[in-house]
Chain A
């Protein structure tokens, strides 16, 4: 299992959660990456990062207009100052004493729970469970760049699946999306367009 900690939970509801981390912890997580929150006794929640936000404050606004910001000041603002990076995560499933479920988890995680990045094995395990049921959570989400998020996820999932010997996963995922979006042509075109850029052929 991956032990790359990417931050701690700031706030959550059953469909999404917000993770906070320091700027200097920002190297591991990426847009579209799958994360998990282990909550003990076999219960863990899975999600996809759909937004990464870095807020400013008064001092940072002053510094950006200064001529030639010193390296030490940049380091100070990234290491010491309490301005967390916020990552928004869409909940896509959970596991509780059994197989992975592509359903909304029964209860959200709690403040300060630790969030880990899923490794390739975990990604394969989650994306191979069921029949892409978690896609409906993504397609239903509002204020989320659905096409870009699915493209990023399918690209990362495909890499993991191919490494595990499954070359058909991305085709199956695309077919499922076409089926789910058959009555929503504009979204389907946006998703397929993004997929075309992310997973050529």
Chain B
């Protein structure tokens, strides 16, 4: 049965009818948030202390932590470093699926390394790892898609650290997505989180810059901080539990403030996982306007560890290089090297089928029978009508 467009149409009409009202509500909320940002812009010490006290009362509190930079401060585009090695990494994976004939998963990390300022073609690196047999099981059962995604993130950072180790001079590394990992419980159970932290520490020891580039962020760290700022002291235990600036994102706060190429102030991150990133690994972020058009700001979020956040030279180099990378591609700013790392890493459906054939052949060569597709998968694989989703 195809989509029932009559039903959808009725809902679309209601959506459109409600849109002006919702837009008005959001505008009011945005204005409120902007006023709060200006009001608390310099109240840094007090708010930092308030966040610490609120975090003691609510372990799940997730918000920004003020640093020494005022909320409304902006930082213009610095000069590019004369020379640096830029390394971007991205990962792709084949998730295990019980409906397939063969149960395995695969993590593919693509990295691309450019000697900035030399004009030579960058070097591509691919690291492919197949996981099978007991590697497919975690403490609670079969490995999940979320866990494979974490394994990919861990390998991305390890590949960056390994490549950085072979390079002399200034090094700037970045990945797509935050530095902070999600779903830590599963990752910690497999001890992979330790490896991730070790890779971060290795980058620190090498003096390399590392960062996570979050495109089109929908983060609300600063919004939650502003809500906390308005919370009476006696209600501090409610911090983060009743968000009321819903629908307003951090990016909307800073869009009017940042000129093309500018960055916002640095913020720390208060979250349940923050305690896992200690000292030089403590997580920070800033927003960056990567647009070249004064009238159409495009803000991204950049996550960095403390050793980068606390060193102005490193921070400026990262800031300048990210803007330079984004300007390489017209219209839709995105770091060129991150796109290339993605191109290098991505595992296509055809490649997945090739891996299936290679495994099946090896098993058959040893007189072993590969598994079989489920009936559901078999029917889905039939040519003809296809659909989006399950």
Q: Chain A interface (Cβ within 8 Å of chain B)? A: 59, 62-63, 65-67, 69-73, 75-76, 78-81
Instruction: State the CA gap A65–B329 with chains docked (Å).
Output: 8
Chain B: number of interface residues, binned into ranges: 20 to 34
A80 x B121 contact (CB < 8 A): yes
A76 x B122 contact (CB < 8 A): yes
A59 x B121 contact (CB < 8 A): no
Given contacts A59-B339, A81-B343, contact A72 B121 (CB under 8 A): yes
Instruction: State the CA gap A49–B386 with chains docked (Å).
Output: 42
- Cβ-defined partner of A66 (8 Å) among B114, B115, B327, B339: B327
B332 x A78 contact (CB < 8 A): no
A62 x B329 contact (CB < 8 A): yes
Instruction: State the CA gap A76–B325 with chains docked (Å).
Output: 14
Additional A-B contacts beyond A66-B327, A72-B121, A73-B328 (19; CB < 8 A): A59-B329, A59-B343, A62-B331, A63-B329, A67-B327, A67-B330, A70-B119, A72-B114, A72-B115, A72-B120, A72-B122, A75-B119, A75-B121, A75-B122, A76-B112, A76-B114, A78-B121, A80-B124, A81-B343
Instruction: State the CA gap A75–B336 with chains docked (Å).
Output: 13
B331 x A80 contact (CB < 8 A): no
Give chain B residues whose Cβ lies under 8 Å from the Cβ of A73.
328, 336
Q: From residue A64, how far is it (CB to closest CB) to chain B in Å?
A: 8
A80 x B329 contact (CB < 8 A): no
B330 x A65 contact (CB < 8 A): yes
Q: From residue B60, how far is it (CB to closest CB) to chain A in Å?
A: 41
B332 x A76 contact (CB < 8 A): no
Instruction: State the CA gap A70–B115 with chains docked (Å).
Output: 12
B330 x A79 contact (CB < 8 A): no
Q: From residue A41, how far is it (CB to closest CB) to chain B in Å?
A: 30
Instruction: State the CA gap A13–B175 with chains docked (Å).
Output: 45
B118, CB-defined interface residue at 8 Å: yes
Instruction: State the CA gap A76–B88 with chains docked (Å).
Output: 14
Instruction: State the CA gap A59–B116 with chains docked (Å).
Output: 20
A66 x B121 contact (CB < 8 A): no
Contact with A along B289-324 (1 / 0, CB 8 A): 000000000000000000000000000000000000
Give chain B residues whose Cβ lies under 8 Å from the Cβ of A66.
327-330
The B115-167 residues at the A interface (CB cut-off 8 A) are: 115-116, 118-122, 124
The B317-361 residues at the A interface (CB cut-off 8 A) are: 327-332, 336, 339-340, 343
Q: Which 9 pairs between the two chains have the least Cβ-Cβ distance?
A: A75-B121, A71-B119, A79-B121, A66-B330, A65-B330, A62-B329, A76-B121, A76-B122, A72-B119
Give chain A residues whose Cβ lies under 8 Å from the Cβ of B330.
62-63, 65-67
Give chain B residues whose Cβ lies under 8 Å from the Cβ of A67.
327, 330
Instruction: State the CA gap A5–B121 with chains docked (Å).
Output: 22
Instruction: State the CA gap A68–B311 with chains docked (Å).
Output: 31
B331 x A72 contact (CB < 8 A): no
8 A-B residue pairs with Cβ-Cβ distance under 8 Å, sorted by A, are: A59-B343, A65-B330, A66-B330, A76-B114, A76-B121, A76-B340, A79-B121, A80-B340
